[in-house]
A and B are shown apart, each in its own frame.
Chain A
């Protein structure tokens, strides 16, 4: 009983005699407040200063809606494709042995390391009408650069490492016994994959999807070069914020930014809840 009271009375010093809690927590909280929290708070205060009507007047503008739909739509689609091809790549890298496997494995992280502006101009050069792939794709009737398809291509590049790198460790740690058991009970390989492996991989796939999506919604550098940035057609929401700022329209920029933040937090919260249910095995 006294131990319980001690715990309640001293929630701050449970771990033992180590020094430095005050100093390190002080530094962390000060840094965090100054760099992240207060600036974000300024955004929220500015947004609430607009009032509901003022905020809605900006947020309901047709050009803003088009940009929001484009940003979230392309991010969802790209994250979905990345989940499929990322899952496939992770599977091949973990399960199969082939020449230069670790070389290809290492390359997966390139989008993390390559500055987005470089990715942007490189992808534009590849997919423009006179580019390496763009030339052939246009002959086939598909225009990629300066269209929403180009945005998806850029987001695919940015998001791929997120999906591969979340699925890979889970695949490595799967127990092959489950597959053996399923096989010995007469399940076909496909049934085993679908009914035994996929449910075990689902939480990681969803996490990778969420990470790729979160990154894709806000992505700016790699997208603006290849998008063409045509209002109502290929103008993403972050670009619209930049345009408002260039016009010194702080209120407009703030309203769009807060709308973006609120929408993506809602979606990420839903995905997070779904992910937790999946890992507890309540779905599938």
Chain B
């Protein structure tokens, strides 16, 4: 009996040696493609010792970049949460014409190059852009200043929260909300007491990914920032500047901060998937 079930297993599996060969190839690929870049950041950042590392991070331009990066994320993430929740509510709880189109338009920023995302704001608000003259006359700076960086980051992170919430809220339907409504709950009570508890982990998941992208965005921000040291450089741009100045150890020291951010994001993401996987939308896992 055991023998025959073994033979059945063998028929729908691969021989032992092939299995281990494939496992070895897969692990080698993951190590070379994914782990090696991580290792190089750690080694290069530590190459000049702790004092140099500290100096690179506490340097005033880097501190300014940290500050700007935090500011941009603090503005972008809540704005995306508002949009994501609103879009998910409208799309999952109601039927209206053009819903499919709205869904694809929300995803549009994913298929636009980050550089183009920056370019469109330069065309609108740059010195020779549509509103360039007007902005100059009123002494408002958007391009080569913080507002432009926020706008460009907002563009590239636009779909993140909505994409986590929409499939989940569509799965959940509207029965619970309708029950709450029939019991006399107001719209806000319904949202906070019924909808929010159902989607909070998915919302956190979206916030996590949105935040990682907002803090790490390079292309779009690079186009609108103007690279003014200490003023309009985010952390990723600071990495580029140090790298181009041949301050390799300092570049990797700053990069290590962003790497820690990435690892924390991954850790939290994993925790959410393990702990609250059933309350996340499986379909939205790919970005």
If A18-B174, A242-B222, A245-B119 touch, whether A110 touches B243 (CB-CB below 8 Å) is: no
Stretch binding the partner chain, chosen from A143-151, A156-164, A275-283: A156-164
A15, A115, A123, A180 pick with most chain B CB within 10 angstroms: A115
Pair A220/B114 contact, Cβ less than 8 Å? yes
B113 at interface by CB-CB < 8 Å: yes
Pair A111/B34 contact, Cβ less than 8 Å? yes
B110, B255, B265 pick with most chain A CB within 10 angstroms: B255
Q: Could you tell me the distance between the alpha carbons of A213 and B187 in the complex, rounded to whole angstroms?
A: 42
Pair B116/A260 contact, Cβ less than 8 Å? yes
B12 at interface by CB-CB < 8 Å: yes
Query: For the complex, would chain B's binding face be called helix, strand, loop or mixed by DSSP majority?
Result: helix
Which residue of chain B lies nearest to A159 when distances are taken between CB atoms in the complex? B33
B23 at interface by CB-CB < 8 Å: yes
What is the size, in residues, of chain A's interface with B at 8 Å between Cβ atoms? Answer: 100
If A16-B174, A189-B11 touch, whether A257 touches B116 (CB-CB below 8 Å) is: yes
Q: Could you tell me the distance between the alpha carbons of A248 and B124 in the complex, rounded to whole angstroms?
A: 14
A268 at interface by CB-CB < 8 Å: yes
B14 at interface by CB-CB < 8 Å: yes
> Binary interface profile of B, 260-273, with partner A (CB < 8 Å = 1, else 0)?
01110110011000
Stretch binding the partner chain, chosen from B48-56, B89-97, B133-141, B196-204: B89-97
Interface residues of A in 128-152 (CB under 8 A from B): 131-133
Pair A115/B216 contact, Cβ less than 8 Å? yes
Pair A126/B115 contact, Cβ less than 8 Å? no
B30 at interface by CB-CB < 8 Å: yes
A25 at interface by CB-CB < 8 Å: yes
Pair B262/A40 contact, Cβ less than 8 Å? no
Query: Which of these, A20, A122, A156, contacts B187 with CB under 8 Å?
Result: A20
Pair A40/B112 contact, Cβ less than 8 Å? yes
Q: Which residues of A contact B236 (CB under 8 A)?
A: 115-118, 221
A200 at interface by CB-CB < 8 Å: no
Interface residues of B in 20-35 (CB under 8 A from A): 22-23, 25-27, 29-30, 32-35
A171 at interface by CB-CB < 8 Å: no
Pair B83/A18 contact, Cβ less than 8 Å? no
Q: Could you tell me the distance between the alpha carbons of A218 and B112 in the complex, rounded to whole angstroms?
A: 7
Q: Which residues of A contact B269 (CB under 8 A)?
A: 109, 113
Q: Could you tell me the distance between the alpha carbons of A119 and B83 in the complex, rounded to whole angstroms?
A: 30
Q: Could you tell me the distance between the alpha carbons of A31 and B78 in the complex, rounded to whole angstroms?
A: 13
Q: Which residues of A contact B90 (CB under 8 A)?
A: 20-21, 24-25, 28
Pair B23/A92 contact, Cβ less than 8 Å? yes
Q: Which residues of B contact A114 (CB under 8 A)?
A: 37-38, 216, 258-259, 262
Q: Could you tell me the distance between the alpha carbons of A18 and B190 in the complex, rounded to whole angstroms?
A: 9
Pair A27/B86 contact, Cβ less than 8 Å? yes
Pair A27/B83 contact, Cβ less than 8 Å? yes
Query: Which of these, A125, A165, A250, contacts B128 with CB under 8 Å?
Result: A250
Which residue of chain A lies nearest to B29 when distances are taken between CB atoms in the complex? A85
Pair A184/B44 contact, Cβ less than 8 Å? no
B40 at interface by CB-CB < 8 Å: yes
Which residue of chain A lies nearest to B181 when distances are taken between CB atoms in the complex? A17
A261 at interface by CB-CB < 8 Å: yes
Pair A28/B120 contact, Cβ less than 8 Å? no
Which residue of chain A lies nearest to B35 when distances are taken between CB atoms in the complex? A107
Which residue of chain B lies nearest to A112 when distances are taken between CB atoms in the complex? B287
Pair A157/B239 contact, Cβ less than 8 Å? no
Q: Could you tell me the distance between the alpha carbons of A235 and B150 in the complex, rounded to whole angstroms?
A: 28
If A169-B282, A176-B12, A241-B115 touch, whether A122 touches B37 (CB-CB below 8 Å) is: yes
- In the assembled complex, 12 residue pairs joining A and B whose CB atoms fall closer than 8 Å, in A order, are A32-B105, A39-B120, A108-B34, A109-B269, A110-B38, A116-B236, A118-B258, A121-B251, A121-B255, A157-B37, A169-B282, A169-B285
Chain A residues in the interface with B (C-beta under 8 A): 11-21, 23-25, 27-29, 31-32, 35-40, 42-43, 46, 85, 88-89, 91-93, 95-96, 98, 104, 106-123, 125-126, 131-133, 156-157, 160-162, 165-166, 169, 176, 179-180, 183-184, 189, 192, 211, 214-215, 217-221, 225, 238-239, 241-242, 245, 248, 250, 253-254, 257, 260-261, 264-265, 268
Chain B residues in the interface with A (C-beta under 8 A): 8, 11-14, 19, 22-23, 25-27, 29-30, 32-38, 40-41, 44, 79, 82-83, 85-87, 89-91, 93-97, 102, 105-106, 108-116, 119-124, 126-130, 151, 154-155, 158, 174, 177-178, 181-182, 186-187, 190-191, 209, 212, 215-219, 222-223, 235-237, 239-240, 243, 248, 251-252, 255, 258-259, 261-263, 265-266, 269-270, 282, 285-287
Q: Return the 7 tightest CB-CB contacts between A and B, nearest first.
A: A218-B113, A115-B216, A221-B218, A220-B219, A183-B11, A39-B120, A122-B37
